[in-house]
Structure 1
Amino acid sequence: MTPPTTLRLTPRSAPRPPAAPPEPAAVAAPARGRTGTARTCPGNLAADLADLAERHGWTDRPAFHQDHRVWTHGEVHALAARAATVLADRGVAPGDRVLLALPDSVTWVTTFLALARLGATAVLVNPELPRADHDFMAEDAGVTLGVTGPGLEDRLPPEQRLFGDQLLALACTAAPADPRPAGSGTPLYVQYTSGTTGRPKGVVHHHGDPEAYFEFIGRRLLRIGPDDVTLSVSKLFFAYGFGNAFVFPLFSGSSAVLVGRRPSPAAVDELVARHRVTLLYSVPSAYAALVADRADGHAACFASVRAAVSAGEGMPAGLGERVTELLGVPVLEQIGSTEVGHAFCANSLSHNTPGTVGRPVPGYEVQLRDSDGRPVPDGEEGELWVKGPTLTTGYLNLPEDSARALTGGWLATRDRARRDPDGTYHHLGRTDDLEMVGGITVSPLEIESVLRTHPAVREIAVAAFTDEEGATRLRAFVVPATPVEDAEALEAGIVGLARERLAPFKVPRTVQVVESLPRTPTGKLRRPLVRRGSW
């Protein structure tokens, strides 16, 4: 694994929102690991973050808002040190892997920090997954313990399970544990890929990676400072949400609002207004829900927001403009992967090109290659390859998959893109998104972007299917903006729009109205299910 750069953090104050903090100066990049004030256990993420809060005077500043309770940075780190003792008493030792299946909460944060303090590895999973998925991940990762929440009483045998509220209750009377030695390359956590095209794969990240996420994205691109307040619709078990709501607040002295379940649009309104949120992170489908049914344009509840970030999928054409109109701030699109840990290509406050995923994040290299691995010139479509300091070295227990995806320190992302001469990238979907219709390769994203402009369409997905005569046809699955009274008229209108603006072989032959589209817990469209036409 290529060592990331060393990042020296100095206290910074961001201006009061909605104005953005000033452009940061370039930071020197020696070898990984901070130097300076003596630490209890340098290199251990939990110990380093506690020291950082102490040195910069953040211990009494808000770190997390949950329900109507505010937790300071000092409280979180102190509780995590005590929770580490409880986990150690349950047999958790350095190098052990522990399943973390909790909703977003201070319990999640302190459990993660406690495991880091012990030199153990947290296996981050969506708590709402079915038991079969949790069983697979627990076995695949070889966990020795699981920290779970309500409704997960059947996960793992009783002797291998600890409930999150039980952990915190015991921590209140426990003595703080000393941090265990850990280098920047010591395993810190495992996240599983979304599994949109097959079995999820376990990806290992290390104690030095979160600091790189903050330095390259949080500090340089988003200019996050102590006065910022974050709300991430994407959850902590997801790479995007982990950086947004855990890494960035703890490395900047700022705070984040934690919500157990994905908030509704009305809940987002209320949370932003109540906590004076300055940074909003979400996915395109959630942004679409936020702007739906709002005919009055900009909403006063978003007056504190200084920037909105979108990832997980490409922002549909036109949606970014509507979100900007609603929030009154730019929408900064970015693209990342579980294998990299966060974004590797992103728009920033100083350079934002709507409709693109921006330029490579500082510290990362991005290339476009054709199917034979040759470089692709500007203006032509190719597959994205990325190389950088936080790139994983491989998947758990999958050497063949690792060899296919990782070559010479580069990751084949399987994302398709086009690069402009100024280095800005346009995301064109996944290599496995393409459909074959009558022997011609078709991108459903192009068709969807056209049909989404129909006023009766809220969401749409297009896939190829084989009819009773064996011919390949396109079908559009539509989530209507309002209840449909005349399905035939809606179908005629959508097909008519396609005929006006698309080549004949790109016109869907049928339209099916559905209540929702199949998505992963992180908001990505599950195209294999769309192709089958059942979910």
Structure 2
Amino acid sequence: MTALSVSAVSVSAASMSAASMSAPTMPTGPTVSANVAAHLAALADRCGWSGRAAFFEGHRAWTHGEVHDRAERAATVLAGRGVAAGDRVLLALPDGIMWVTTFLAAARLGATAVLVNPALTADDHRFMAEDSRAALAVSGPDLQDHFDGVPWLGADQLSALTGPPATLGAAAPAPAAEPVTAATPLYIQYTSGTTGRPKAVTHSHGDVAACHDLVGQEVLDIGPADVSFSVSKLFYAYGFGNAFAFPLFSGSAAVLTADRPGPALIDDLVARHRVTLLYSVPSSYAALVDERGTGHTACFASVRAAVSAGERLPPALGERVGELLGAPVLEQIGSTEAGHAFCANTVWDNVPGTLGRPVPRFELELRDHEGSVVADGTDGTAEGELWVRGPTVATGRPGDGGWLATRDRARRERDGTYRHLGRVDDLEMVGGITVSPLEVEEVLRQHPAVREVAVAAVPTSGARPGCAPMSYRRPTRVAGRPTQVAGRPTRRR
């Protein structure tokens, strides 16, 4: 399992937070108890969001109303290709409006979308198509030969068939949404496959709603005035929540790009679209800081908060990113199996250097290598493997009580926050002593001349065989320790 990336088991959606219920443009009551595509279209109409921008792609803005209209027409096309309730539709598409409308079209028909990285190899694509029993694969023409033996639809064909309403008119009436429950499968994502073939994780219509309620609302306080940009792509759980679920459920907007965002593109998109919430991973933030330095840059003036996930965020890097953006950096952790984040810093409660506290309705435990819960020590802290249970957690194992072993090591502090200590298999035996490479990296990273560092154990031989830690360091361009700067208000206004 990878640190931070959303899950399968069906659950009822959470109620909206008190903050969101007080806002006149936000819905009240349970988020979804029916087809999520139909629910989102009705929600946009009821809350007056239909004319507001939902997605920015290139120099084009797509309103919430346009997105749902195109999705209904795309559903007609998919139905014409034989897609029906219960079928699985594989999406190997880059981030863009076509990805969004095809996903919603499949949902409207009661089908399950299979989300895959379009940059994977033909072998990986064939495996996922076969493993998921896909009834149809949708991709660009360049990937058609990756799906031999599977009915295929080119994205260009779908785009032409679901073009502007004036072109289609009554030729593409939107089919009525398929009745579903909160437990009906909505989409499938694949784990990273670091220990073998990737494993499928299924999410329900209720899961995606809970993802927005518990993270988008309770953690980030997202509202219609927000504009999000996620470096993580839509086929990842992290990106799916950030750039799909959050904007459509909140009436806000997200910036989509098929390109891999580097520092220059991030600068451009954030400044052009006045991004308020930036989601990225530590390695991308490090590249941004390295390129831009640590002085606050005017193009980030609109950012009220930055979210970091996917890997551990070194505290020194977090400080440098906060100084560059002039905004707080909120670290969190989650997984494909868990839904989105299950432990997070929030816009109200941010403790730098930690993963924050459990997301509402999620429970966390620290266990030893035998699976027993670790009790707090005399200093009030505890260390062990992180286990999680919550409304969107999929374990796939009967009799486990809903608990998922994350394979991440963590320490619970006296104040209830958690610190990430690495993966459970990251420990090395050096000279008879258990050593954490991450802890060695943290010490080396404190040197002002070190920008990045990686530590790995290398087997030794001779009179005293064992392992010796070896490090790789990249020198920093500017010596000196970064300092924390005061940020702007983190809550939406």
1:451 matches 2:444: yes
Q: Aligned residue for 1:362?
A: 360
1:7 matches 2:15: yes
Q: Aligned residue for 1:504?
A: none
Instruction: Name which of 134, 155, 160 aligns with 1:143.
Output: 134
1:460 alignment partner, SS class: strand
Q: Kindly indicate whether the alpha-carbon contact (under 8 Å) linking 2:135 and 2:150 is maintained by their aligned counterparts in 1.
A: no
Instruction: Name which of 194, 197, 207 aligns with 1:196.
Output: 194
1:98 matches 2:98: no
How has the CA–CA distance of structure 1 residues 150 and 327 changed in structure 2, closer, same or farther, with 3 Å as cutoff?
farther
TM-score, length of structure 1 as denominator length: 0.81
Deviation track 1:426-446 (CA, whole Å, cap 9, x = no partner) reads: 111110222222333211111
Instruction: Name which of 184, 187, 198 aligns with 2:185.
Output: 187
Q: Once the 2 structures are TM-superposed, how far is the Cα of residue 282 of structure 1 from its aligned partner?
A: 0.3
Distance 1:243 1:2 in 2: 17
Q: Kindly indicate whether the alpha-carbon contact (under 8 Å) linking 1:107 and 1:164 is maintained by their aligned counterparts in 2.
A: yes
Instruction: Name which of 383, 386, 390 aligns with 1:384.
Output: 386
Q: Aligned residue for 2:471?
A: 476
Write the letter of the residue equivalent to 1:70: A
2:315 alignment partner, SS class: coil
Q: Kindly indicate whether the alpha-carbon contact (under 8 Å) linking 2:294 and 2:323 is maintained by their aligned counterparts in 1.
A: no
Deviation track 1:281-333 (CA, whole Å, cap 9, x = no partner) reads: 00000000110043461001000000110000110130010011000110000
Distance 2:236 2:449 in 1: 32
Query: Which structure 2 residues correspond to residues 83-482 of structure 1 after superposition, within 5 A?
Result: 83-157=74-148, 160-172=151-163, 173=168, 174-295=172-293, 297-376=295-374, 377=376, 378-394=380-396, 402=397, 407-467=400-460, 469=462, 470-481=465-476
How has the CA–CA distance of structure 1 residues 225 and 206 changed in structure 2, closer, same or farther, with 3 Å as cutoff?
same
Structure 2 residues not aligned, in runs of 5+: 1-8, 478-493
Distance 2:140 2:430 in 1: 47
Q: Once the 2 structures are TM-superposed, how far is the Cα of residue 158 of structure 1 from its aligned partner?
A: 7.2
Q: Once the 2 structures are TM-superposed, how far is the Cα of residue 233 of structure 1 from its aligned partner?
A: 0.6
Deviation track 1:320-350 (CA, whole Å, cap 9, x = no partner) reads: 1001100011000000010011000000011
Q: Once the 2 structures are TM-superposed, how far is the Cα of residue 372 of structure 1 from its aligned partner?
A: 2.4
Q: Once the 2 structures are TM-superposed, how far is the Cα of residue 196 of structure 1 from its aligned partner?
A: 2.9
Superposed CA RMSD: 2.1
Structure 1 residues not aligned, in runs of 5+: 15-23, 35-41, 395-401, 483-535
Q: Kindly indicate whether the alpha-carbon contact (under 8 Å) linking 2:123 and 2:146 is maintained by their aligned counterparts in 1.
A: no
Q: Once the 2 structures are TM-superposed, how far is the Cα of residue 197 of structure 1 from its aligned partner?
A: 3.5
1:196 alignment partner, SS class: coil
| Larger RCO (CA under 8 A, 6+ residues apart) | 2
Number of corresponding residues = 453
1:366 alignment partner, SS class: strand
Write the letter of the residue equivalent to 2:255: V
Q: Kindly indicate whether the alpha-carbon contact (under 8 Å) linking 2:10 and 2:183 is maintained by their aligned counterparts in 1.
A: no
Q: Once the 2 structures are TM-superposed, how far is the Cα of residue 268 of structure 1 from its aligned partner?
A: 0.6
Distance 2:387 2:37 in 1: 32
Which segment drifts farther, 56-65 or 371-380?
371-380
Distance 2:418 2:124 in 1: 35
1:43 matches 2:34: yes
Distance 1:198 1:429 in 2: 20
Query: Which structure 2 residues correspond to residues 63-102 of structure 1 after superposition, within 5 A?
Result: 63-102=54-93
Q: Once the 2 structures are TM-superposed, how far is the Cα of residue 450 of structure 1 from its aligned partner?
A: 1.8
How has the CA–CA distance of structure 1 residues 100 and 11 changed in structure 2, closer, same or farther, with 3 Å as cutoff?
farther
Q: Kindly indicate whether the alpha-carbon contact (under 8 Å) linking 2:13 and 2:206 is maintained by their aligned counterparts in 1.
A: no
Q: Once the 2 structures are TM-superposed, how far is the Cα of residue 353 of structure 1 from its aligned partner?
A: 0.2
Distance 1:448 1:456 in 2: 14
Q: Aligned residue for 1:495?
A: none
1:132 alignment partner, SS class: helix
Q: Aligned residue for 1:21?
A: none
Q: Once the 2 structures are TM-superposed, how far is the Cα of residue 2 of structure 1 from its aligned partner?
A: 6.7
Q: Kindly indicate whether the alpha-carbon contact (under 8 Å) linking 1:2 and 1:388 is maintained by their aligned counterparts in 2.
A: no
Distance 2:134 2:431 in 1: 48
